[in-house]
């Protein structure tokens, strides 16, 4: 009911994060260390409970996290929603609910509930819960920073996760309590393949991407016939990938001619992905200029993604405009491959 109202907030938060990205912060937030640390603490807790032969508490906490996680994956199959970093025709995964957010809240909630019931000082309780809370919030922030989920995904997932904890934490599992849980798990096991095999049964949820219906003023695909005349500089070979035709840009500076007839405000979208030499962390900064004026320093994400830039009307000239892409000295270098960035398409829209 309220999701359409939240879409402008999703876009505002997404755009703000994109402009704040930097290599140092990306190195910190690209790792799974916060979630791994939460799991490590849970394993320590389970080991302690088993050592104390407190089997009921160990089973109870494990059931809450495992069944809750499975419930989240089931709902992700039920609901169809585009992720922020999705690009047509590459549609991978659904955005709601967030599995990482739900898992972090489940782990935080079960451990905090256990800490509150222990005969320890208030300072230790507050300190322990605070550490767990920081780790859980970092996991949620990572999903937003990495453009894996919208803000409304995180809010909705947090509400669902807290509701699950509220229903399950204070109720010890006995045989009478286990029977409805077993029945619910059976229903989930039946429903999951049903929604997976029949996509028509899924529920479509609107996202900022699915509501975009405007037509571009100008659009062209790299690698297509007739586009080569518009390209200047360090452009490499054309190719074909799952997304469609592409053109590789080599390290240095490459330009493309963009025809704009009026001196108005425009927004530009371009689809690109960096060349990946290895699986380890690497930062891919790309400078984008219009008529020799820096528009923005974009931090490219791994894999295909569409990036949005806002063009200052004072920099636009009626007729041919030169859009330039530049890889700086801090762009990762590949010793055997001169390719740096693959481009699929560029589109220009009139700003409303």
The CB density around residue 170, as the number of other CB atoms within 10 Å, is: 8
pLDDT at 306: 87
Confidence of residue 170 (pLDDT cuts 50, 70, 90): confident
Contacts of 105 (CB under 8 A, 6+ apart): 136, 157, 158, 161, 162, 165
Terminal-to-terminal C-alpha distance of the chain = 26
pLDDT at 220: 83
Q: For residues 9 and 145, is the Cβ–Cβ distance under 8 A?
A: no
Domain boundaries, the chain: 3-204, 218-350
CA distance 240 to 281: 26
Least confident of 88-92, 173-177, 217-221: 173-177
Least confident of 206-220, 241-255, 317-331: 206-220
pLDDT at 172: 59
Between 108 and 93, name the one with better pLDDT.
108
Bridge partners, 87 (sequence order): 90
For the residues 149-156, what does the mean pLDDT come to?
93
Between 202 and 161, name the one with better pLDDT.
161
Q: For residues 177 and 121, is the Cβ–Cβ distance under 8 A?
A: no
Give the pLDDT confidence of 300-317 residue by residue, as tens digits.
888 888 898 888 888 888
Most distant CA pair in the chain, distance: 78
Q: Rounded to the nearest 10 degrees, what angle do helices 33-51 and 99-116 cross at? A: 40
Q: For residues 258 and 334, is the Cβ–Cβ distance under 8 A?
A: no
pLDDT at 112: 92
Bridge partners, 342 (sequence order): 248, 273
**pLDDT(73) > 90:** no
Burial 38-77 (b: 16+ CB within 10 A, else e): beebbeebeeebeeeeeeebbebbebbbebbbebbebbbb
For the residues 280-291, what does the mean pLDDT come to?
87
For the domain with range 218-350, which CATH number is right: 3.40.50.300, 2.60.120.260, 3.90.1150.10, 3.40.50.1100? 2.60.120.260
pLDDT at 88: 65
Confidence of residue 212 (pLDDT cuts 50, 70, 90): low
**pLDDT, mean over the chain:** 85
pLDDT at 192: 74
Contacts of 65 (CB under 8 A, 6+ apart): 42, 103, 106, 107, 110
DSSP SS3 for 39:
helix
Helix (H) or strand (E) holding 298: strand 293-300
Place of tokens 């060349």: 275
Confidence of residue 242 (pLDDT cuts 50, 70, 90): confident
Contacts of 30 (CB under 8 A, 6+ apart): 142, 146, 281
pLDDT at 143: 92
pLDDT at 288: 93
pLDDT at 267: 85
pLDDT at 254: 92
CA distance 21 to 299: 7
Q: For residues 253 and 325, is the Cβ–Cβ distance under 8 A?
A: yes
For the residues 256-274, what does the mean pLDDT come to?
83
The per-type count for the chain, helices as H runs and strands as E runs, is: 8, 11
């Amino acid at each position: 009911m309220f999701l359409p109202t939240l879409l402008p907030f999703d876009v505002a938060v997404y755009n703000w994060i994109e402009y704040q990205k930097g290599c140092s912060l990306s190195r910190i937030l690209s790792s799974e260390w916060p979630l791994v640390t939460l799991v490590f603490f849970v394993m320590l807790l389970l080991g302690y409970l088993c050592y104390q032969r407190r089997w009921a508490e160990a089973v109870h906490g494990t059931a809450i996290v495992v069944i809750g996680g499975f419930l989240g994956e089931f709902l992700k199959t039920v609901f169809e929603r585009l992720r922020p970093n999705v690009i047509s025709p590459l549609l991978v995964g659904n955005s709601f609910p967030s599995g990482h957010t739900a898992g972090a809240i489940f782990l935080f909630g079960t451990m905090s509930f256990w800490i509150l019931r222990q005969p320890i000082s208030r300072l230790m309780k507050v300190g322990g819960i605070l550490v767990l809370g920081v780790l859980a919030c970092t996991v949620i922030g990572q999903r937003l920073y990495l453009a894996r989920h919208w803000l409304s995904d995180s809010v909705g997932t947090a509400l669902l996760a807290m509701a699950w904890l509220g229903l399950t934490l204070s109720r010890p599992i006995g045989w009478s309590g286990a029977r409805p849980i077993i029945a619910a798990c059976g229903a989930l096991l039946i429903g999951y393949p049903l929604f997976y095999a029949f996509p028509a049964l899924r529920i479509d949820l609107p996202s900022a991407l699915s509501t975009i219906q405007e037509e571009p003023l100008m659009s062209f695909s790299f690698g297509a016939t007739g586009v080569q005349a518009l390209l200047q500089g360090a452009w490499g070979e054309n190719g074909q990938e799952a997304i469609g035709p592409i053109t590789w840009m080599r390290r240095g500076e490459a330009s493309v001619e963009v025809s704009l007839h009026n001196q108005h405000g425009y927004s530009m979208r371009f689809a690109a992905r960096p060349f990946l030499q290895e699986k380890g962390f690497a930062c891919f900064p790309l400078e984008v200029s219009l008529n020799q004026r820096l528009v923005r320093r974009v931090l490219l994400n791994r894999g295909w993604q569409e990036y949005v830039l806002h063009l200052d009307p004072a920099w636009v000239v009626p007729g041919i405009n030169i859009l330039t892409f530049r890889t700086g000295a801090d762009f990762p270098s590949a010793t055997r491959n001169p390719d740096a960035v693959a481009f699929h398409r560029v589109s220009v829209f009139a700003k409303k």
